Amino acid sequence: MGKELKRLKRCSTSTDAEASDHKDKKPLQIAESELQSSVTDVKKRKKKSKSKQIDEEDDSKSDKEELTKSFKEMTQAMKNLHDFFTSNSAALPGLKEIWLKASVDASSKKEEAPKKTEELATFECCFESEDSEGPLSHSVLVKGFDTCHSRDDIKTALWKHFESCGCEVVRVFVPIECKTGVPLGFAFVYVDDSLKAISLGCGYMGERHLRVMMAKYQPESTAFPNFHGCKRCGRILAKRRMRRFVDVNGLGGVWV
């Protein structure tokens, strides 16, 4: 019995090896089939890309042919018009001149269109008003008022407010954005007594609480924040600086 069991074990080991060999062969066959399928897919993709390139080349050729055809037709039409005017100039007097005049008028209208738009684009510069003259550091800076109102309305409201506080108002300058006319959110008020304006002016104007401070200690007295301006701003300010220099140093100081 022991010998028979040993023989059976040997047989079983041999069958196990064959089964393992059979199992090992299956993955290899699967891998080979996957490789073949991938190769075929790559070939198909190459064929498709080649066909697409051919189609695109054909489309571009057809487009070029259509463009050349239309260009030839246009040149031929212009030649026919020229021949018609030259041959029938005696029978149709003044027709050629009318056609040429119409073409010139159309071109002149195209050139005049931007000039008209530039003329219509007129706006008020921030520094064109007389209220902007004078050093801003000699005034009080006011913030907190409603910027939805116009420049003139804000000016009159601030004037009345500081007069009601007992101050003598000399001038009120409300800076605006040049091309839009929108107030920048602060104003410079020139009064006889700055300390009195600061102590009594910090009240309510309508539903808004005003903030009043000395302008010379604020950055707005030297440069307006978020201000774009226009070309006229630089010219106006340069003229004013020159005028102040002449007033202080005299005419001789300009040529030194």
Q: Is 122 helix (H, G, I), strand (E, B) or coil?
A: coil
Given this model, what pLDDT does residue 121 score?
Answer: 52
pLDDT in tens, 40-60: 776 777 676 666 666 666 666
CB atoms within 10 A of CB 190: 22
Tokens representing residue 255 in the block: 């040529």
Among 22-31, 62-71, 185-194, 207-216, the least confident range: 22-31
- Considering only residues 17 and 127, tell me which one the structure prediction assigns the higher pLDDT: 127
Q: Looking at the chain, which runs of residues are DSSP E strands?
A: 140-143, 169-173, 186-191, 204-205, 208-209, 211-214
The CATH code of the domain at 130-229 is 3.30.70.330
Given this model, what pLDDT does residue 136 score?
Answer: 85
Given this model, what pLDDT does residue 140 score?
Answer: 96
Alpha carbons within 13 A on the beta-carbon side of 28:
5
Given this model, what pLDDT does residue 106 score?
Answer: 60
Strands 208-209 and 211-214: unpaired
163: left (phi over 0), alpha (psi -120 to 50) or beta: alpha
Neighbouring residues of 89: CB distance < 8 A, sequence distance ≥ 6: 95, 96
Among 12-16, 90-94, 237-241, the least confident range: 12-16
Confidence of residue 255 (pLDDT cuts 50, 70, 90): very low
Tokens representing residue 91 in the block: 């029978």
Distance CA 114, CA 99 (A): 25
pLDDT in tens, 180-232: 999 999 999 999 999 999 998 888 898 899 999 999 999 999 899 989 999 99
**pLDDT mean over 56-71:** 73
Q: The whole model's pTM is what?
A: 0.52
Looking at every residue in the chain, the average pLDDT score rounds to 77
pLDDT in tens, 119-138: 445 888 999 988 998 888 88
Percent of the chain residues topping a pLDDT of 70: 62
156 has pLDDT over 50: yes
Burial of 27 (0-12, 13-18, 19+ CB in 10 A): exposed
Tokens representing residue 161 in the block: 């407010």
